[in-house]
Amino acid sequence: MKRKVNITGLECPNCARNLETKLNKIEGVKNLKIEFVKNTLTFESDNPDQALVKITNMAKQIEPEVNISGSNPQKKWIAVDLITLAIGLAIGISLFFIKVPTWAYYTLYALSALFLGCKTYLKAAKLLFKGIINENLLITISVIGASFVSSHNEGLMVIALYSIGKIFEGLAVDRSRKNIALLAQMQPDYVNLLTGAAEQRVSPDKVEKGSLIVVRAGEKVGLDGTIVDGRAFVDNQSLTGESLPVEKSKGEQILSGGIVLDGVLVIKTSSVQADSTISKIMLLTQSASENKSKTETFISKITRWYTLGIIILSILVWGIVWAVTKDFSMAIYRGLIFLVVSCPCAFAISVPLSYFSGLGNASKHGILIKGSNFLDACANLNVVAFDKTGTLTTGKFTIQKIETFDNRTQDEVLFLAAIGEKHSIHPLAKAIVLACNKKIPKATSVKEIAGSGVEYVYKNKTYFVGRRQKLEQTAVEIYENNKKIGQIDLADTIKPQSQQTCTQLRKIGIKSIMLSGDNQKIASQVGEKVGVDQAFGNMLPQNKFDYILSLKNQKQKVGYVGDGINDAPSLTAADVGFSMGINGSPASIEASDVVIVDDDPKKILSAIKISKRTRKIVWENIAASLVVKVAFLVLGAVGVTGMLWAVFADVGVTILAILNSMRALSIRTRGDN
């Protein structure tokens, strides 16, 4: 039996993944999954009530702040935190203005300190019992120490500002995850399945590939597919970041997740729910947190030992001050100042929050980055290599020129070519058939000649459409009774955003290269049109792979952009692999580090800009925190500043770092979208 409950109190996606692994080891629990973005926990069990008790107990042991319930308690807990904070502040402030007996003063002081930091003290005790020392213990020791040396007001200030900072942190993380959580809401609860003339509302996971579904105005597109009837404007903003609706009509592909604004669309599904765009997005989003940047990993590792080191150093400061001044209380006081200023909150919170916000912002623009390590890597790129077809070009061919011989007209040559190409699935054949506006009759004696073309009979004459000569350009020849009567030159359509992408990359100092399997002449022509710095033709998959490795051997930081199964080796070899289009081959999506939801090459530029700005924010936080903390550590140790300033140095810089981290949510990529 399957059960779904809400889970809150997890501070990061990686915490959720670690907890999920441990909970899956519980006897009688199967397929347990925690979705950090949705705050949900699902599992299967023959006895779900009993299993839930086991899950809750173990989760509490591993993560004391975790809360598992049938309803979402997050808003309730925020309200409780605010109420206890308000009571604690009210009691504490009253001590400044109301004269009370000594016993009443200490009673009110204890109550104020308890209301302000009960969660902090409890968490410090639980973690200490498990052998874990973190900032909660630092704050607890600081409050107890301040009380011991009669610095009551400063002790209350320490815990009050710390608690305010923790509430602020929770709200900031919640806001950061909202951009990613919006993706989860794009999956509709039902689709309108068309069976014969009747419609039936069913769950998207019940729809098979090749089925017909109906989507009306105001409804979400539940599955990927091709429109077989209807015309409508579709809002894809949550999916691709496009601010304006796009018009979709018969014959066009449509991705799941968009919202139909008007009209009715009948869609033939091209995937089941598990393989749909939305499902892929959610899978990539959930796994993104597992890949951390070197900076984030370093901060995470150092904070494990940092707190213990700070406690030892504060004892050392206390010892030195006591030895010099012979004043025990003053030594304790200065040791506490050192303890408060050194609290690692600013680093431990702001660095992962900055990366998490950057990843959320990228997803809002239709850029799915598989981890903060790849977000960081994007900022270092100095070369971007593009596959040609499907990346810089659409992969759809159009007719450029029709040459005629033997007094034939262009319409006649196109018509005769379309008769034969109707029987081919080659992309060039499809372009010719699409360009012919006449009704195409059936041919007889149709024979497909492998690697060459199609031979057929029409009105007692034998025709051949394909290639008999070696041509430098992309072209199709037409022969009538072995006499050449025409030639149709075609070209892959260049995406309108390609030229702007290459121009903008050059402006920010990144070299663009095109690697194509076409001959060098075609590659050079396309390369000149899109504006790449270099264009190489006759590149087989192995050649592309070797070229990427050669660039890396030259100490270049290389990004590779591709969409086909043959691009997988190069995507893996590059420092950052970009797969163009969620509808690209599964191999390219699996091998890539960044997935562009639509086929817009400008999103490569957006990803680089977001990564550069995010990394800048991270280092701003680290530098500012270090400067402030070191300054106040020195001033506090020599007695220039008191504990009140130490509190502001710690909590103040933490709040500023959180606010700065939030800027990563709103990084604009003006001109790229």
* Angle of the 135-148 helix axis to the 102-129 helix axis, nearest 10: 150
Q: What is the pLDDT of residues 437-495, one digit of tens each?
A: 888 888 888 888 866 889 999 999 999 998 888 777 788 999 999 899 999 998 888 88
How far is 458 from 250, CA to CA, in rounded Å? 31
Residue type, 345: C
DSSP 640: S
Strands (E), 217-356: 225-229, 231-235, 246-249, 253-254, 259-260, 264-269
Return the sign of the alpha-carbon dihedral for residues 171, 173, 174, 178: positive
> Which CATH architecture best describes the domain 394-494?
3-Layer(aba) Sandwich (3.40)
- Residue 130 exposure: Cα atoms within 13 Å on the Cβ side: 13
How many angstroms separate the CA atoms of 624 and 611, rounded? 20
For 73-121, write each residue's pLDDT tens digit. Answer: 445 556 777 888 889 889 888 887 888 888 888 899 889 989 988 888 8
Query: Is the pLDDT score of 385 beyond 90?
Result: yes
The tens digit of pLDDT for each residue in 163-200 reads: 776 776 666 666 655 555 555 566 777 889 988 778 88
- pLDDT tier at 235, thresholds 50, 70, 90: confident
In percent, the amount of the chain with pLDDT more than 90 equals: 17
Q: What is the pLDDT of residue 175?
A: 61
* Per-residue pLDDT, 176: 55
Query: Which of the two residues, 668 and 326, has the higher pLDDT score?
Result: 326
What's the CATH fold of domain 2-72?
Alpha-Beta Plaits (3.30.70)
Note whether 368-393+495-610 and 394-494 share their fold.
no
Q: Are strands 576-580 and 558-562 parallel, antiparallel or unpaired?
A: parallel
Give start and end residues of each alpha helix (H) in 326-456: 328-341, 345-364, 372-378, 410-421, 427-435
Beta carbons of 424 and 440 less than 8 angstroms apart: no
For residue 365, list its beta bridge partners. none
Higher pLDDT, 315 or 36: 315
298 falls in which pLDDT band (50, 70, 90)? low
pLDDT band at 299 (very low <50, low <70, confident <90, very high): low
Could you tell me where the DSSP H helices lie in 365-474?
A: 372-378, 410-421, 427-435
| pTM of the model as a whole | 0.69
What does the block give as tokens for 269? 């599904």
Q: Between residues 116 and 238, which one has the greater pLDDT?
A: 116
* Of 6, 35, 610, 168, residue with least CA distance to 356: 610
Question: Domain extents for the chain?
Answer: 2-72, 208-271, 368-393+495-610, 394-494
Q: What digits encode the pLDDT tens for the residues 587-634?
A: 677 778 888 877 788 999 999 999 999 989 988 888 888 888 788 777
Residues 6+ apart with CB under 8 A from 594: 367, 368, 369, 370, 374, 378, 576, 577, 578, 579, 607
What is the reported pLDDT for 477? 93
Mean pLDDT of the chain: 81
The Cα–Cα gap between 308 and 161 comes to: 22
The mean pLDDT of 237-259, rounded to a whole number, is 75
Is pLDDT above 70 for 134? no
- For residues 322 and 130, the model is more confident at 322
Asked if residues 170 and 79 have their Cβ atoms less than 8 Å apart, the reply is: no
pLDDT for residue 127:
74
For 450-502, list the strands marked E by DSSP: 453-458, 461-466, 475-480, 483-494
Which pLDDT score, from 0 to 100, does residue 178 have? 59
CATH topology of domain 368-393+495-610: Rossmann fold (3.40.50)
Per-residue pLDDT, 589 = 74
| Strand, helix or coil for residue 247 | strand
Q: Is the model's pLDDT at 71 over the cut of 50?
A: no
Query: pLDDT band at residue 351, thresholds of 50, 70 and 90?
Result: confident
The mean per-residue pLDDT over the stretch 42-67 comes to 84
For the cut 70, the answer to whether the pLDDT of residue 434 exceeds it is yes
Q: Given a cut of 50, is residue 49 above it in pLDDT?
A: yes
pLDDT at res. 457: 93
Give the SS3 label for residue 120. helix
| 652 or 409, greater pLDDT | 409
Angle subtended at Cα 475 by Cα 473 and Cα 478, rounded to the nearest 5 degrees: 145
446 φ/ψ angles, rounded to the nearest 5 degrees: -75, 130
Catalytic residues: 387
Fold that domain 208-271 belongs to in CATH? 2.70.150
Strands 475-480 and 461-466, by their bridges, are: antiparallel
Please give the pLDDT value at position 595: 86
pLDDT at 243: 54
With cut-offs at 50, 70 and 90, classify the pLDDT of residue 410: very high
Strand residues in 36-102 grouped as ranges (E): 40-44, 67-69
Confidence of residue 11 (pLDDT cuts 50, 70, 90): low
Q: Is the pLDDT of residue 285 over 90?
A: no
Q: What percent of the chain has pLDDT over 70?
A: 84
| Helix residue spans in 149-273 (DSSP H) | 152-184, 237-240
Give yes or no for residue 305 having a pLDDT over 50: yes
Q: Is a pLDDT exceeding 70 seen at residue 500?
A: yes
